[in-house]
Amino acid sequence: MIRQLQEKILKLKEERDFYILAHSYQAKEITEIADFVGDSFQLSLNAAECNNKNILMCGVHFMAETVKMLSYDKNVYLANQLAGCPMAEQVEPEMLEYIKKNHEGYTVVAYINTTAALKELCDVCVTSSTAVKIVQRIENNNILFIPDCNLGNYVKENVKGKNIKLIQGGCPVHAAVTKKDLENAKALHPDALVLVHPECVPDVVAGADYVGSTSGIVEFAKKSDAKEFIIGTEMSIAEHLQYACPEKDFYILSKKILCPNMKLTTLVDVYKAIDGRGGKEIKLDKDKAERAKKCIDEMIRLGK
């Protein structure tokens, strides 16, 4: 059944000139039929280079919005219209205007998990895989980092000599994992290496053997000579890795680390979106998109 639907999608996407992007948290049956699977940064780079008329994003809303900014003349769709990222909605533009007033002369660095309206007010975006490198490369020593204070704290730890101000935001999924969860997982699997996403709280990050983006974690685990891994990011990554490396063992760090928004998209959603019966077309005002795109362009320039 799944195979048949996948074949129908592959045929239909050629007929309708669709390019399918999938974030690495998507289900296996979706990553199998995607043209490109990656982390937020890789998806942005890839979207900017694709030649198809239509792009379908299997991920969350801010990712589809970013694609629209980078490929304004293309039709960009989000496969499941309800898939949003709660972190992206945490800061209203008015709130950021207010914070900026108290931080004159600061470079405003936004995690890519933000809305287009917020990006318009920022100087440069970062993703989890590029944040340290980009903040290091920014000439200004005064940085206002929004909205994820856990990623921001990780950047602070790894970029010396800069004055980095954080606000109280973050990913409710990763931030729910505690030091106790980490201790429990280590007690169950004492020989496993711990690989975590920098959206986790500092206590969890401090106990990890490797900290990186979703793709960074996947690459590290594939290349490592170790045989067992505790995966501290959305649990789909442990599943994907288990398929990719059957000779190794992957354990989830905690049952809490499940993103309900990333889990919303189904293969049927993908089919319906390409067929014109589902999904959500991303519409952005041209001037707003151009203003918001500036910090994505800056991210690509500094992050490559």
Whole-angstrom distance, CA of residue 16 vs CA of residue 274:
7
- For strands 228-232 and 193-196, give the pairing: parallel
Taking CB within 5 to 8 Å according to partner kind, which of ligand 13P, ligand SF4, none is near residue 261? ligand SF4
Query: Residue 110 pairs with which residues in a beta bridge?
Result: 125, 146
Residue 171 interacting with ligand SF4 (CB under 6 A): yes
Choice between 9 and 155, CB closer to ligand 13P: 155
Q: Which residues are within 8 A (CB) of 162 and not within 5 positions of it... i.e. 6 or more apart? A: 135, 141, 142, 143
The backbone torsions φ and ψ at residue 102, rounded to the nearest 5 degrees and listed phi first, read: -90, 5
The stretch among 14-22, 126-134, 139-147, 283-291 that binds ligand 13P (CB under 6 A) is: 126-134
Residue 130 interacting with ligand SF4 (CB under 6 A): no
Choice between 39 and 54, CB closer to ligand SF4: 39
Q: Which residues are within 8 A (CB) of 150 and not within 5 positions of it... i.e. 6 or more apart? A: 170, 171, 174, 175, 198, 199, 200, 201, 202, 205
Whole-angstrom distance, CA of residue 27 vs CA of residue 294:
32
Q: How far is the CB of 86 from ligand SF4 (least distance, A)?
A: 5
Taking CB within 5 to 8 Å according to partner kind, which of ligand SF4, ligand 13P, none is near residue 80? none
* Range 95-114, binding ligand SF4 (CB under 6 A): 113
Whole-angstrom distance, CA of residue 218 vs CA of residue 113:
20
Out of 56, 83, 138, 171, name the contact with ligand 13P by CB under 6 A: 171
Task: Give residues in contact with ligand 13P (CB under 6 A).
Answer: 39-40, 113, 127-129, 171, 199, 213-214
Task: Give residues in contact with ligand SF4 (CB under 6 A).
Answer: 60, 85-87, 113, 171, 173-174, 199, 234, 259, 261-262
